Amino acid sequence: MLPSIVLLSLLGSSAARTSVEAMNLFKRISSGCPTSGPASCYNTSAVDTCCTEYPGGLLLQTQFWDTNPSTGPSDSWTIHGLWPDNCDGTYQENCDPSRDYTDIPTLLVDQGASDTLSFMETYWVNINGNNEELWEHEWATHGTCYSTLEVACLPAGSPQGAEAVAFYKTAVSLFQTLPTYAWLESTGIIPSSDQTYSLRDLTAALQTSSGHIPALGCDGSTLNRISWYFNLRGSVVDGDFTLIDSPKSSACPSNGISYPPKSC
């Protein structure tokens, strides 16, 4: 059981937002934010938006199961994004077009995140084959709306785009804690061309392994997406993410849910 998932010191451990040299900066970057205070959506005091995600304190790690055409490995879901919803069910998008970065692979490599790029090339893939288009879209649409990833919240001397690199690394790291395929498989729920499943069985399988209830999504009666929800203490850069029950109901029928296999 995983009552909470904590992301610890992804990006280093310096204690304050101080100047650091540009070379290999990202490997050592730190928000300087504490992780002992109230979680996002639960902070009722004055909010330092560099250290408390606000107003988008309800975070969704969304995964897709694409089969037409198939994307990603046959035994894994794929990353779609990491979205900051507000705590009241609303959300913002496209918050800062001036930071709509392009050439994401070069951005990642130049800032010491080649391992993240390699993972993204396999597990963060676009249904149309243009992965970078998806990566650019997810940052521009959702990543620019994180208050803790504002440029002013980064250490002085950070290279341009360091906040986007932090976004990609964090999205990947959270995805790696959420093996949706393996959790379903552990209870006998596997992709099938003829078997169908109930929403209750799918949800129970995921709750048993994770300790929490995600929101499942279907295209008609075909399972194709899932959203895992978090609150956050500290910054998206290096804060503690706590998995929570989805505040939203699944968008799938009660029975007869298809979970088709991916093509080779």
Catalytic option among 21, 53, 136, 138: 138
At position 138, the amino acid (one-letter code) is E
Please confirm whether the linkage preceding 69 is cis (ω < 30° from 0). yes
Task: Give the other-Cβ count within 10 Å of 7's Cβ.
Answer: 20
Catalytic option among 53, 142, 163, 212: 142
Contact 113, 165 (CB under 8 A): yes
Half-sphere exposure of 63 (CA within 13 A, CB side): 22
At position 95, the amino acid (one-letter code) is C
In DSSP terms, 82 is beta-bridged to 61
Catalytic option among 80, 136, 163, 212: 80
- What are the φ and ψ backbone dihedral angles of 167, each rounded to 5 degrees? -60, -50
Please tell me the distance from the alpha carbon of residue 102 to that of residue 115, in angstroms, as a whole number.
Answer: 19
DSSP state of 25: G
Q: Is 138 one of the annotated active-site residues of the chain?
A: yes
Q: Is 132 one of the annotated active-site residues of the chain?
A: no
Catalytic (active-site) positions:
80, 138, 142
